[in-house]
Every structure is written in C-alpha cells, then in structure tokens.
Amino acid sequence: MAPILPISAPALVEPLKASGGSGGDSFGQAFANAIQSVEGANQDANASVQRFLTGEGEELHNTVLATTRAEMAFDMFLQTRNKVVAAYQEIMKLQL
C-alpha cells in the first residue's frame, strides 16, 4: 500500500523570467506550459481510472485523488483564463 502524500496546489505557471525581448514569447510559453500541465493532470487521471477499472491494482482513493487533482487544475486554469480575458476587456475600454 502506497503512503498517503499531502496534496499541494499544482503549479500551472512557472514564474516568468525577465528577458531582453518582448513579453509575448514569455506569455505564450507560460500559457503553453499551463495547458500542458492541465492536460498532463487529465491524462494521469484517465490512466488511473483505466487501471482501476481493469483491476491492475490501482486503489480507489488514488483514482479519486487523481481525478480531483485534474478537476482542480482545470478549474484553476479556467479561472485564470477568465481573469486574463476580463483584464484584456478592461484595457480595450480605456480611452487613449
């Protein structure tokens, strides 16, 4: 039986490093990393469910934790996207 490990918040976006160029590449890379992180959590959850259903020794609590992690990662990514869209809309409302 595997030990129960503490649940930590998934790191969707690594801190951006200052670069000499435009910020577009950094934001694009951070966004791509966030999508990959969410997709990885989803794939892990799907694999865990598949192992549980086929009887490959996966325990129910591990499957539930993997599914919950994937759901929380997606929810956090979705809320971050909503905040970015709202900020963009506010910037577009500014009069220059």
For residues 11 and 37, the answer to whether their CB atoms sit within 8 Å is: yes
Is 70 exceeded by the pLDDT of residue 39?
yes
pTM (predicted TM-score): 0.67
DSSP H or E stretch at residue 65: helix 60-93
- The percentage of the chain sitting over the pLDDT mark of 70, rounded to a whole number, equals 75
**Per-residue model confidence as pLDDT tens digits over 66-94:** 999 999 999 999 999 999 999 999 999 98
Q: What is the mean pLDDT of the chain?
A: 83
Is 60 exceeded by the pLDDT of residue 19?
no
* CA contacts within 13 A on the Cβ side of 44: 16
How many helices and strands, by DSSP H and E, does the chain display? 2, 0
39/42 Cα distance (integer angstroms): 5
Conformation bin of residue 7: beta by default, left when phi > 0, alpha when psi is -120 to 50: beta
